Amino acid sequence: MRIARWQDSTEIGEGFIIDDTAVPFPNGLRVADVLARGLDGARALFDRANHDDGRPVSTVRLLAPLVPAAIRDFVAFEEHVEGVSASVDGKSEVVPEWYEAPTFYFTNPHTVLGPDEPVVPPVTQRLDFELEIAAVIGGAGGTNLAGAEAADAIFGYTIMNDWSARDIQSREMKVRLGPAKGKDFGTSLGPWIVTADELETYEDEDGFLALRAEVFINGARVGEDLVSNMGWTFPELVTYASRNSRVVFGDVLGSGTVGNGGCLGELWGRKGELSPAPLTDGDEVRIVVEGIGELTATVGAAVEGPSIPRARSRSRARIRV
């Protein structure tokens, strides 16, 4: 099953993509309602979907397939870490701590973009994309999920492009926090959610999804990888995210950027130069992931935000004057 949201004139539709038709959920249900019901509930709705209420996908504008409850973005590809560390931190390495657990950061659920929706970056000299796959949580979610429980919490998968301003990211991470402002201006998701059962045939013997992923800038391929090169499986990401915490339906768990050109930063780090050039106004980024689909976006003109003063020197007095 493919789950999507779309704009049709002034109305927002939410439902199934069946062949080339957008078919609304029965009873006016929304994606959030279907995620809460889990895969079994989605299958029951699919059997009741009225194809006569559908319209060709070509006549609607696809939106981000969900409004995320939260977005955790992992860094699960060793090859990406090895390459991008040189361009962001100035030193190519994979620190020993990376191997201990699938580290993630929280990013902004309020700046999510849909298919073909332009990204409007801040003023940056090093605008980058990130080719990722994201798991979407469905059902009851839970705390300290492991094994089959963690796998069952995954409703489906979508493509994720974690846009990055590498110069801003590099500065803020020197303060031992972030990334934050280097990334929170836009995260593209889409074109739809493919339910987990649809991708089971791509699982290898170790439970990794051996999906082929490619990315193109202005039609030229700059990166390709297999998603199975992750250091951890998606259920293991769910386990870590829920450890002493909680995941709920609508949570998005990004895989982190694939290796072998899954972002420009990795290529810059390996080459020691800005080649290919950073993204700029008008560039088109197209991501293609086997079994899921394509996610395309164009870069818009940068917008300069309000200025912030430098930190002031303070007296560190402990008593008011």
State the total domains in the chain. 2
Tell me how far CA of residue 289 lies from CA of 24, 53, 134, 257, in angstroms.
Answer: 25, 29, 11, 13
pLDDT of residue 177: 87
Instruction: Give the structural domain span for 18.
Output: 2-63
> Quick one: average pLDDT of 45-72?
95
Residues 231 and 113 in one domain: yes
pLDDT of residue 89: 73
Residue 42 resides in a domain:
yes
Stated pTM of the model: 0.97
Residue 92 confidence class, pLDDT cut points 50, 70, 90: confident
Same domain assignment for residues 240 and 106: yes
**Contact assessment for residue 216 and residue 286, using Cβ atoms and an 8 Å cutoff:** yes
Average pLDDT over residues 75-82: 96
- CATH code of the domain in which 200 resides: 3.90.850.10
Among the listed residues 19, 195, 21, 158, the one whose alpha carbon sits nearest the alpha carbon of residue 6:
21
Contact in structure between 221 and 214 (CB atoms under 8 Å): yes
Q: Is the pLDDT of residue 161 over 90?
A: yes
Question: Same domain for 145 and 34?
Answer: no
CATH number for the domain spanning 10: value is 2.30.30
Pairing of strands 164-165, 187-195: unpaired
pLDDT of residue 159: 99
Mean of the per-residue pLDDT values for the chain?
A: 96
Co-location of 164 and 38 in the same domain: no
pLDDT tops 80 at residue 64: yes
3 state SS of 22? strand
pLDDT (0 to 100) of residue 87 = 76
Query: Percent of the chain at pLDDT above 70?
Result: 100
Q: Do 28 and 164 share a domain, yes or no?
A: no
